[in-house]
Structure 1
Amino acid sequence: MYILVINSGSSSIKYQLFLQHSDQPVCSGLIERIGQDNGLITHEIFRADVAQTLKLEQSIKDHETGMQAMAGLLTREDIAMIDNAAQIGTIGHRVVHGGETLTKPTVITAEVKEKIMALYALAPLHNPGHIKGIEVAEKLFPAATQIAVFDTAFHQTLPERAFRYAIPDKFYLEDGIRVYGFHGISHQYVAGAAITWLKDPGAKLITIHLGNGCSMAAVSGGRCIDTSMGLTPLDGLVMGTRSGAIDPSVLLYLQQQKGYTAEQLTGLLNKQSGMLGLTGYNDMRDISRLYHENDPAAKLAYELYAYRIKKFIGAYTAALNGLDALVFTAGVGENDALTRELVCRDMEFLGINIDIAKNQLREKGLRDLTAGGGRTRILVIPTNEELAIARECRRLGAEGH
């Protein structure tokens, strides 16, 4: 039997297939440009440590079409990983927002789906895509147990002083307005890997997830005590297209003086800001190239991006009352040496001293970039949300749901 992990977004689906008791995927894939005629499917098969990659370009009109294409590839005669859909016993779904009621991996029922849908307003770019993925998976794999694993769950250990906003109580008590935090599956995975590597169950860590979306977490002994995203994934760090933290008066000014609507402000802050707003690009590879060409906008953007991260490091070191390791992860965190260098520069007072030569090396797996004399470890740990979800599915199965 197999575990299929699905990460269904608004216009894409990521998936990995695992044998029931193995951490090594037998295949993985990415379905992009859902809703467009030029949809792209990248499907990788792993046999005896040898990868075979197929790339298919075709019209993918909706999530159901994309999932049907995935199911077809899993059983396609020349590259089949399974004989039929019944061999998939469990499907694990990443769900971004679980609110205050969905706080641990959960078998999906009609009631659970209703709760996920009730949170659409808090994760409009994510939860609707998750529900589409769940409903299509239920049709294509009717015998499988469907399990939701929530990005917000890891942050449920935040103390009230960290998750409450200083607004009247009724907004929390009646509307659930509070800090929820996101990227929790990633933060939990890399924090666990760091604790294992450090051989210190009580380690004080700051995990830094830098992709198109960016967030940080303060983790003490494996428990999250603070995180940079808030009610939605918009707060905190500067991101690819999101502004991160901003004075609320900016929004009031734009609304009252410039006539912006709520819809326009949502688009501005989520899709037109961040690195895109500062440089015209949201891909750090493009911005890095411009930085090294001495482009002033790219230089400012990198400095601003790194400065915001540094401020959170200071705050979280105070919250943790010490720091044993920084952990960089996700696409930018794992691959962008310039970001890591700028973040760690002039941080010797916290024992943060990065080895510049090691930082430039492009190696795989966990890496220690700490220079001699640095008392705070600087680690790069590749995240693996799909494996983390598969492990949660196994654990839930072992507990009998």
Structure 2
Amino acid sequence: MSEVILTLNAGSSSLKFAVFEFDTTQTTASISGKITGIGRAPEFSARVGDGADLEKGILNHINTASSHEDIIALLLAWLKQHLEDRPLIAIGHRVVHGGSFFAAPTRITDDVLNKLETLNPLAPLHQPHNLAAIRAVSKWHPEVPQFACFDTGFHQTQDRVASLFALPRSLSDEGIVRYGFHGLSYEYIASVLPHHLGQQADARVIVAHLGNGASMCAMKNRQSVATSMGFTALDGLMMGRRCGTLDPGVVLYLMQSKGMTVSQVEALLYRQSGLLGVSGISNHMQVLQDSDDPHAREAIELYAFRAASVLAGLATAIGGLDALVFTAGIGENSALMRHLICDRLAWMGLCLDSEANDENATTISSSHSTVTVLKLPTNEEAVVAKACRSIVANRPIQK
């Protein structure tokens, strides 16, 4: 009877899951899905490997006050019915911040959990919910080993200079440095680049992970050289609700002159800014693209301006640019945003094939472009499953 691995990616109001066969190298999940609207009106959807719907609907029997513990219990019970008694050999979690404690995938113990909990303030939108899912699984299935895979881990290849802030050395030594995020996404894209770029995969590549959370990573030899996010997932690009890079003097002004508390500033920067704050309409790119409101267009233009500026800066870290990869929700689905960003970077040799871009093709650069431009789906769950397989089988994790 074949064994399976479950991967979980828990957010504040959603839980994504995927089931992978243990004895295989396949990156496609046999079952995947998500529960959205946690704390409001939970909805459940699941599909099998070929994309066919397995289940979809509103969870009327789950009340609006349901916690991650309740949702995990529901999911595990549902999976037990659909796994046909196939044993669950491991559960892997996406954990956003490993801090200076963890880089490689790690088996979760009480000590590991306690250390990860100290990082909650550095990723308040993600870390507490990642850990809540781990604790919930421990309650319902304490016998199943759990593993944490860190978004910060991929960036450990960066030179020390790339990780430093211009702060007193004592603070850097305490761990106030640039960690970078979205590492599981970048690791997956790095693993598939040879299939799309051949030998150019090891050249100068920038991957743009553009979604509600967004960042970019400059790579050489498919390793991280520099990235846009830093100490927290608030840094870098403009995002759905997050401001991205901000003059630190703004924070001082808000607290000293506007009398805002730490909690109020945190809410402003993490939840009320970005596309939502600038547009005053929505944090969803498609909603803004469909709007006639000039504030929506301004938010779109600012997003593109900031993204192009950051991308150009990252190119200096790798001495130029041979390939650009768009991925994640906006990167994969917004032809307009890809066009606006690349149009601002025409001076670097980027030239899109408008028809290919509009059709969401894989290669969207024109024959005249000196930079290859790709649009690739990411698969963080496959990276987590691969790490679990390697650890359980007691073999090195292959990149």
Q: Do Structure 1 and Structure 2 share a fold, with TM-score over 0.5?
A: yes
Cα deviation per residue 1:206-250 (whole Å; 9 max; x = unaligned)? Answer: 000111011001111111011111111001111000111111111
Match of 1:62 among 47, 60, 67: 67
The farther-off stretch of 188-197 and 96-105 is 188-197
Cα deviation per residue 1:149-185 (whole Å; 9 max; x = unaligned)? Answer: 00000011121111111111111223x1111111110
Displacement of 1:50 in angstroms is 4.1
Cα deviation per residue 1:20-76 (whole Å; 9 max; x = unaligned)? Answer: 12322111121122233x211112234x66443322323251111111111122133
Conserved 8 A contact 2:7-2:19:
yes
Match of 2:32 among 8, 14, 28: 28
Q: Which residue of 2 aligns with 1:10?
A: 12
1:382 aligns with 2:377: yes
1:229 aligns with 2:229: yes
Q: Which residue of 1 aligns with 2:245?
A: 245
Measured in 2, the distance between the counterparts of 1:98 and 1:165 equals 18
Conserved 8 A contact 1:194-1:327:
no
Which amino acid in structure 1 is aligned with residue 30 of structure 2?
A: V
Measured in 1, the distance between the counterparts of 2:47 and 2:69 equals 20
1:40 aligns with 2:43: yes
RMSD of aligned C-alpha atoms?
1.6
Give the structure-2-normalised TM-score. Answer: 0.93
Structure 1 SS opposite 2:244: coil
Measured in 1, the distance between the counterparts of 2:114 and 2:360 equals 44
Match of 1:368 among 347, 351, 363: 363
Which amino acid in structure 2 is aligned with residue 277 of structure 1?
A: G
Measured in 2, the distance between the counterparts of 1:351 and 1:304 equals 22
Q: Which residue of 2 aligns with 1:75?
A: 80
Measured in 2, the distance between the counterparts of 1:55 and 1:383 equals 26
Measured in 1, the distance between the counterparts of 2:80 and 2:350 equals 50
Q: Which residue of 1 aligns with 2:186?
A: 187
Displacement of 1:298 in angstroms is 1.9
Cα deviation per residue 1:285-337 (whole Å; 9 max; x = unaligned)? Answer: 110012xx3x3212221111111111122112211112111000000000001
Give the structure-1-normalised TM-score. Answer: 0.92
Which amino acid in structure 2 is aligned with residue 33 of structure 1?
A: G
Measured in 2, the distance between the counterparts of 1:266 and 1:172 equals 23
Conserved 8 A contact 2:36-2:44:
yes
Cα deviation per residue 1:239-290 (whole Å; 9 max; x = unaligned)? Answer: 0001111111111111111111111111111100011011121011110012
Displacement of 1:199 in angstroms is 1.3
Displacement of 1:344 in angstroms is 0.5
The farther-off stretch of 342-351 and 150-159 is 342-351
Q: Which residue of 2 aligns with 1:162?
A: 162
1:330 aligns with 2:328: yes
How many percent of aligned residue pairs carry the same amino acid?
A: 39
Measured in 1, the distance between the counterparts of 2:28 and 2:8 equals 16
Displacement of 1:144 in angstroms is 2.0
Conserved 8 A contact 2:5-2:19:
yes
Measured in 1, the distance between the counterparts of 2:35 and 2:148 equals 20
1:394 aligns with 2:396: no
Conserved 8 A contact 2:46-2:53:
no
Measured in 2, the distance between the counterparts of 1:50 and 1:27 equals 10
Structure 2 SS opposite 1:92: strand
Alignment of 1:190-339 (within 5 A): 190-200=189-199, 201-280=201-280, 281-290=282-291, 293=292, 295-339=293-337
Displacement of 1:346 in angstroms is 4.2
Which amino acid in structure 2 is aligned with residue 226 of structure 1?
A: A
Which amino acid in structure 1 is aligned with residue 33 of structure 2?
A: G
Alignment of 1:85-164 (within 5 A): 87-164=87-164
Q: Which residue of 1 aligns with 2:339?
A: 341
* Structure 1 outlier segments of 4+, above 6 Å: none
Note the residue ranges of structure 2 that are not aligned, 5 or more in a row: none
Displacement of 1:143 in angstroms is 3.0
